[in-house]
Amino acid sequence: MADTLDLSHFIRRTDAGDATMDFAIDGADCAACIDDIESSARDVPGVVSARLNVGSRRLSVAWRDEACDAQSVLESLAARGFRAHPFELHRLEAEDVRQTRWLLRCLGVAGFAMMNVMLLSLAVWFGAVSDIGPETRDFFHWLSALLVMPAAAYAGQPFFRSALAALRARKLNMDVPISLGVILAIGMSLYETLNHAEHAYFDSAIMLLVFLLAGRALDQMMRVRMRTAAANMAALKGDLAHRLGPGGEIVTIPVAALRAGDCVMVRPGDRVPGDALVLSGASCVDESAITGETLPREIGPGAKAWAGSLSGQGALTLRVTAAGESSLIDDVRRLVEQASEVKSRYRRLADRASAIYAPLVHLTALCTLAFWLLAGAGAHFAIVTAIAVLIVTCPCALALAVPAVQVVATGGLFRAGVYLNASDAIERFAEIDHVVFDKTGTLTLPAPRVANAHEIPADLLALAARLALSSRHPLAVAIARAGGADTPFADASETAGAGVSALVGGVEARLGGAAFCAMADEAPRGADVSLMRLRVGGRTATFEIRQALRADACQVIADLRARNIGVSILSGDRPDAVAPVAQALGVSDWRGGVKPDEKIAFINQLSRAGRRVLMVGDGLNDAPALAGAHASMSPIDAVDMARAGADAMFLGDRLAPIVLALDLSRKARALMRQNLWLAVVYNAVAVPLAVAGFVTPLIAALAMSGSSILVTLNALRARSSARAAPKSAARERPVAATFRKAGA
Amino acid sequence: MNVLVYLVPLALLLGGVWLGMFLWSMRAGQYDDLEGAAWRILSDEDIRK
């Protein structure tokens, strides 16, 4: 195609005046790929630098303006077999990355102070039992104070800010006891140092900050990783649109750059880039991604076409009415918004724990103060003991308990090809006891398959496949794939809306509808079957094309049942098309012809009956149900709206990642609970000691670090089950990459 | 205890050097791609040039 490709939307300028652009890369799965990708970009004349970030699967390329353009970089990458997609860094993602760096900087500063203070504290602790003089002890305490005060003022900011914000909103969060504990510990230690006292808690205060910052940084890094994966997926899916200029010239632009009012051309086999009105041309569109309906719909001038529908054999000229993210049916959007409001009421495990924990800690400290004052122990002792309670109960282990498990579990899911959208998704997946599947594109593969390939003589199948290569009709694509053809006939010609014909060895071969092949029209063989005919001289064949079940659909349903999880099928497709699928899978609870609002109603009904529902779907009609269910998943090729509503996405042609995600989540939540209990047990031991006034700085340090390490080690156990998981489709691509390298 | 006069500053200095290196490596983007480094160790791209 000789279209010009306009990618200026994505280009950024560096200070040196070079153009830089980021690409999301598909297929970077081996060490050799890094070299391959970077050098294929660097080999383009004019390119200054190319650097692949393996963690985020993104390639950043800089070039000099006059010598090079984005298109030649894309072409060079495509020539080596890598799909690259122009990519725009989202504002939120940039903010998250900045936040991560800030947390790491705080962690670095706190870590530096902790190492040095520990050095001094150890001397004091062991000096207490040997021969340290009061002057040396005071000197060490002063040194610690000088190190800890500025370090804590800097590194404590993430907690102080969040605590202030919570107090302003008249709420208590986990950061309030943390901030209070750190500030009081430092304040009291300073007072004690001024009075040449024996104990100072500078080390405890800074150690607290280090552990808590580590937990915070882990949490943040996981969030960045999830956002990166989601953004890459949006870019990788990012289709191109052919925009008609005022002079009739065609410019290819990314769909993200499309505006309402633009005129676009949709060729046979392309997806409609935005909601649009048909200006000219006629075609039949496959709207299975939007409504679940498997039979194509005929459209002509004046008709409306939805974003994401697949155009059949005719070329269309459309005027876009809604572009980009706004392209969806209003009803569906309204339903999605209502449904998401309901779901946002879910409260995370950590939030629930901290809501009980923070008031309890403050109350205990106050009671301690009151008790010792009433017991006549003196104001100094009472205050020191109350502060020791606050220090000891500072929720180190509690703050690490959940994020540490989440990071490990998310990593495990990531490797298995499941990408999380919501950070509390793991907790919700763990509670699932009923799964509702959509049919089209979820239980079945997104593209139709030839169902009776084994009944057709091999030579006819091969011939039909080569003929089919000359057409972009969805049914022809299915035949071409079934026959594994790769060379079309040179003289093949397509009659729009009818079929393809070519001369093969002096005999005319025709592939298409019954009339085109001069064959008798026969009764439909099933509700979800489309027929294609082939005639070569006197020989004929009939191809049955239908939606094929995903290879492991039966196995997955059986696995879910074995885990005592209920299964239902809800489809927007006609009931007589759903019935055979439900029967093949042995699912008795199914409904067909269900509208989006009915899907939500069905799920709400299940929820009211006390079931926790996981919705798995890919179409626009599933989007409200995905947003409304307790948890939801989408295959990676789902429509944007469905992916935005889903809590997680899975890669590949198999459904196994769903079972895996449920298993891993259950294990992860068990570990989170264990960790929270560990934290409770630690407090049950440490608090009475602190209340009784026995906690010296040495004991506080041992208790805090001990419990934090225990909790982190326990979290690492989630790795073992993540490792045991079979590597799914996410890892199938490298095989192709290896072949390509061997051939090169 | 005169040894403290130079041991304490030395400890602080070493810690400070470590902190400086950490901040520098972060600003230089060494923490941006945690997986890439493990894969690049097998690459001989830098030797060819």
C-beta neighbour count of A370 within 10 angstroms: 12
Cα diameter, chain B: 56
Asked if the Cβ–Cβ distance from A136 to B4 is below 8 Å, we say yes
A185-189, A482-486, A612-616: lowest mean pLDDT where? A482-486
A151-160, A426-435, A472-481: lowest mean pLDDT where? A472-481
What is residue A734's predicted lDDT score, i.e. its pLDDT?
36
Instruction: Give residue A455's pLDDT band: very low, low, confident or very high (50, 70, 90).
Output: confident
Q: How far apart are CA A563 and CA A431, in angstroms?
A: 12
Among A308, A136, A315, A229, residue whose Cα is nearest residue A646: A229
Q: How many domains does chain B have?
A: 1
Q: How far apart are CA A336 and CA A643, in angstroms?
A: 12
The better pLDDT of the pair A445, A14 is held by: A445
**Stretch (H or E) spanning A279:** strand A275-280
Percentage of residues of chain A with pLDDT beyond 70: 88
Fold (topology level) of A92-227:
Four Helix Bundle (Hemerythrin (Met), subunit A) (1.20.120)
Residues of A in contact with B40 (CB under 8 A): 31, 34
What is residue A164's predicted lDDT score, i.e. its pLDDT?
92
Chain A contacts to B (CB-CB under 8 A): 30-31, 34-35, 38-39, 52-56, 101, 104-105, 108-109, 111-112, 115-116, 119, 133, 136, 139, 143, 147
CA A160 vs CA A152, A362, A368, A500, A529: distances in Å: 10, 17, 25, 71, 64
- Dig out the tokens for A65 from the structure: 């303006």
Q: Is the pLDDT of residue A689 over 50?
A: yes
C-beta neighbour count of A496 within 10 angstroms: 15
Q: How far is B39 from chain A (nearest CA, A)?
A: 5
The active-site residue out of A18, A36, A286, A438 is A438
Strand A283-286's sheet: what is its strand order? A297-299, A283-286, A310-311
pLDDT digits (tens, 9 = 90+) for A248-280: 777 877 777 777 888 888 877 777 877 888 888
- Average pLDDT (A353-380) is 85
Residues of B in contact with A108 (CB under 8 A): 19, 22-23, 26
Q: How far apart are CA A314 and CA A327, in angstroms?
A: 23
A155-169, A234-248, A300-314, A415-429: lowest mean pLDDT where? A234-248
Asked if the Cβ–Cβ distance from B16 to A112 is below 8 Å, we say yes
Please, which contacts does A366-375 make with residues 24 or more away whose CB atoms are closer than 8 Å?
A368/A690, A368/A691, A371/A691, A372/A693
C-beta neighbour count of A117 within 10 angstroms: 25
Fold (topology level) of A1-89:
Alpha-Beta Plaits (3.30.70)
The better pLDDT of the pair A122, A744 is held by: A122
Look up the domain containing B9 and give its range. 4-48
- The torsion angles phi and psi of A602, rounded to 5 degrees, stand at -60, -45
Q: In the block, which residue shows the tokens 């095989």?
A: A735
pLDDT digits (tens, 9 = 90+) for B4-49: 888 888 989 999 999 999 999 988 888 888 778 887 877 766 665 5
Q: In the block, which residue shows the tokens 């709420």?
A: A171
Residues of B in contact with A119 (CB under 8 A): 11
What is residue B16's predicted lDDT score, i.e. its pLDDT?
93
The better pLDDT of the pair A497, A284 is held by: A284
Which residue in A has a C-alpha nearest to residue B37's C-alpha? A54
pLDDT digits (tens, 9 = 90+) for A187-226: 989 998 998 888 888 988 898 889 889 888 888 888 787 7
Q: Which of A36, A89, A112, A154 to mutate to test binding with chain B, by most B CBs within 10 Å of its CB?
A: A112
What is residue A74's predicted lDDT score, i.e. its pLDDT?
82
Query: Out of B11, B34, B43, whose CB is closest to A55?
Result: B34
A135-144, A381-390, A523-532, A622-631: lowest mean pLDDT where? A523-532
- Average pLDDT (A116-142) is 83
Q: Is the pLDDT of residue A548 over 70?
A: yes
A487-501, A533-547, A614-628, A659-673: lowest mean pLDDT where? A487-501
A335-339, A436-440, A463-467, A673-677: lowest mean pLDDT where? A335-339
Cα dihedral B23→B28→B32→B37 (10° resolution): -110
Asked if the Cβ–Cβ distance from A115 to B33 is below 8 Å, we say no
Residues of B in contact with A60 (CB under 8 A): none
Residues of B in contact with A109 (CB under 8 A): 19
A143-147, A307-311, A403-407, A436-440: lowest mean pLDDT where? A307-311
What is residue A10's predicted lDDT score, i.e. its pLDDT?
75
Residues of A in contact with B18 (CB under 8 A): 112, 115
What is residue A615's predicted lDDT score, i.e. its pLDDT?
92
What is residue A292's predicted lDDT score, i.e. its pLDDT?
66
Residues of B in contact with A143 (CB under 8 A): 8
Domain residue extents for chain A: 1-89, 92-227, 240-327, 449-546
Asked if the Cβ–Cβ distance from A54 to B35 is below 8 Å, we say yes
Q: What is the DSSP letter of A610?
A: T
Q: What is the mean pLDDT of chain A?
A: 80
Q: Is the pLDDT of residue A342 over 70?
A: no
Instruction: Give residue A465's pLDDT band: very low, low, confident or very high (50, 70, 90).
Output: confident
Which residue in A has a C-alpha nearest to residue B1's C-alpha? A136
Q: How far is A722 from chain B (nearest CA, A)?
A: 18
pLDDT digits (tens, 9 = 90+) for A51-71: 888 877 888 888 887 767 777
Q: Is A56 helix (H, G, I), strand (E, B) or coil?
A: coil
Kindly provide the residue ranges of all beta strands, DSSP E only, lying in A177-266, ordered along the sequence: 240-244, 250-254, 263-266
Contacts of A196 (CB under 8 A, 6+ apart): A134, A138
Residues of A in contact with B22 (CB under 8 A): 108, 112
The better pLDDT of the pair A563, A489 is held by: A563
Q: Is the pLDDT of residue A326 over 50?
A: no
What is residue A1's predicted lDDT score, i.e. its pLDDT?
39
The better pLDDT of the pair A716, A256 is held by: A716
Asked if the Cβ–Cβ distance from B45 to A56 is below 8 Å, we say no
- Cross-strand partners of A296: none
How many contacts, defined by CB atoms under 8 Å, are there between A and B?
56
Q: How far apart are CA A155 and CA A210, in angstroms?
A: 9
A129 neighbors A186 (Cβ within 8 angstroms):
no
Q: Is the pLDDT of residue A405 over 60?
A: yes
A282-291, A294-303, A527-536: lowest mean pLDDT where? A282-291
Could you confirm whether domain A449-546 is CATH 3.30.70.260?
no
Among A135, A194, A148, residue whose Cα is nearest residue B4: A135
A718 neighbors A408 (Cβ within 8 angstroms):
yes
Asked if the Cβ–Cβ distance from B33 to A55 is below 8 Å, we say yes
Q: Is the pLDDT of residue A736 over 50?
A: no
Told to judge if A589 belongs to the known catalytic residues of this protein, a careful annotator would answer no
Query: Out of B22, B23, B36, whose CB is closest to A53?
Result: B36
Which residue in A has a C-alpha nearest to residue B36's C-alpha? A54
Query: Out of A34, A56, A111, whose CB is closest to B43?
Result: A34
Q: Is the pLDDT of residue A296 over 70?
A: yes
Chain B contacts to A (CB-CB under 8 A): 1, 4, 8, 11-12, 15-16, 18-19, 22-23, 26, 31-36, 39-40, 42-43, 45
Asked if the Cβ–Cβ distance from B33 to A109 is below 8 Å, we say no
C-beta neighbour count of A55 within 10 angstroms: 17
Query: Out of A55, A105, A143, whose CB is closest to B23?
Result: A105
Q: In the block, which residue shows the tokens 């208590």?
A: A172
Residues of A in contact with B23 (CB under 8 A): 105, 108
Q: How far is A34 from chain B (nearest CA, A)?
A: 8
Q: How far is B13 from chain A (nearest CA, A)?
A: 10
